[in-house]
Amino acid sequence: MAGSKTFTFTGHEQHFVTPCGVNQVTVTVIGGAGGPGAAPGGAGGFGAQATAQLDVTEGQLIFVEVGSNGAPGQHGAMLAAGGFGGGGAGGGSGGGPCPGGGGNGAGGGGGASDIRTMSIHEDTSLATCLVIAGGGGGGGGQSGDFKGGGRGGDAGNAGAPGGAGAAPGAGGGGATASAGGGPNGGSPNGGDGLSAAPNVCGGGGGGGGGGLFGGGGGLDGSGGDGAGGGGGGGSSAFGDSASQTSLTIDTTGVPSVTFSWS
C-alpha cells in the first residue's frame, strides 16, 4: 500500500521504521535556511533539497535528523544562533556613533538535515549517513550608515559581500564535497560569522550553513561603515546505496525529511 511520512524539526533525533511489505523508499531531505540579518540586513540563503531512492528491508530503522533555520540577526553585539545541524552563529554589530546606531548583527547559518543508519548518540560522524542536505548561509548585517548586508549563500554557494561602505565584509565561501568554505567552514559545522569591532559602524558577518562540509562565515564590515558579508552554504551528499539522486535548492524555507513508498 502506498504511503508517506514527513518529519519536521523537533530539536531531537527521530526514527522511521520501514512498513511491512516495503523494500524501496524515496526520501526527500531539506536543509535549513539561513537567518536574515537584523532588519533590514541581507536575506538568508536557502537550504538544499536532496532526493534519493533507497533499497530497504521490512522493519528497518532509519535515524532522522531534521535541521532548523538559523536565527535572525540581533540589533547589537549579541550573536544569532546557528540552526540545529551545524549552522554557524551570525556575528554581532559594532557599537560606533553612527546614524543607524552602530550597525546590525547578521543571521545564523541554517542547519543540515540528514538520515543515517546509526544514531547520532552512538556515532557522531557522518560515516553512516545515507542522504545529507546542506543548510543556507546567514544574511550579513547592515552597517550603521545604512549600507546593506550581503545575502547568505544557498546550500553549496558562497555568500555575497556586504553591499557598500568603505570596507564591506567579504562573503563566506560555499562548501564543496571535499572541503569547507573559507575562511572557517568545517565538517559538519558552518563557520561563525565575524563580529564587527567595537566602536565602529560595521555590520556582522553571516554564519555558514551546516552540511557534509560547512560554509564559511561571512566577514564583518570594517573601515567605519562597512556592511557584513553573507555566510556560505553547506554542502550535500549521498551515500553509496542511494540511487536516482537529485539535488536542487529548496525555496520553502521549511526543513523536513519525507519518506514515500508505493
Q: Which three cell numbers stand for residue 96?
A: 560606533
Whether residue 257 is predicted with pLDDT greater than 90 in this model: the reply is yes
What is the percent of the chain with per-residue pLDDT over 90, rounded to a whole number?
Answer: 80
What is the mean pLDDT of the segment spanning 46-65? 98
Distances (CA, A) of 218 to 73, 158, 160, 175: 13, 9, 9, 13
pLDDT in tens, 223-247: 667 899 999 999 999 999 999 999 9
Where in the sequence is the domain holding 5, given as residue range(s)?
1-262
Whether residue 92 is predicted with pLDDT greater than 80 in this model: the reply is yes
DSSP letter (8 states) at residue 50: E
What is the mean pLDDT of the segment spanning 53-71? 98
Number of domains in the chain: 1
Residues 189/102, Cβ–Cβ less than 8 Å: no
Average of per-residue pLDDT values in the chain: 94
Q: What pLDDT is attached to residue 99?
A: 66
Sorted by sequence, the CB contacts under 8 Å of residue 168 that are 6+ apart come out as 143, 147, 150, 161, 162, 221, 226, 227, 228, 229
Q: Which three cell numbers stand for residue 172?
A: 563566506
The predicted model scores a pTM of 0.96
Q: Who wins on pLDDT, 160 or 40?
A: 160
DSSP letter (8 states) at residue 80: B
What is the mean pLDDT of the segment spanning 91-108? 81
Using 50, 70 and 90 to split pLDDT, how confident is the model at 155?
Answer: very high
Amino acid of residue 209: G
Most confident of 20-29, 92-101, 161-170: 20-29
Using 50, 70 and 90 to split pLDDT, how confident is the model at 98?
Answer: confident
Q: HSE of 104 in the Cβ direction (CA atoms, 13 Å)? A: 29
pLDDT in tens, 141-154: 998 777 889 999 99
SS3 content of the chain, % helix, strand, coil (to 5): 0, 20, 80
Q: What pLDDT is attached to residue 165?
A: 63
Most confident of 4-18, 65-79, 97-111: 4-18
pLDDT in tens, 156-201: 999 999 976 668 899 999 999 999 999 999 999 999 999 998 878 8
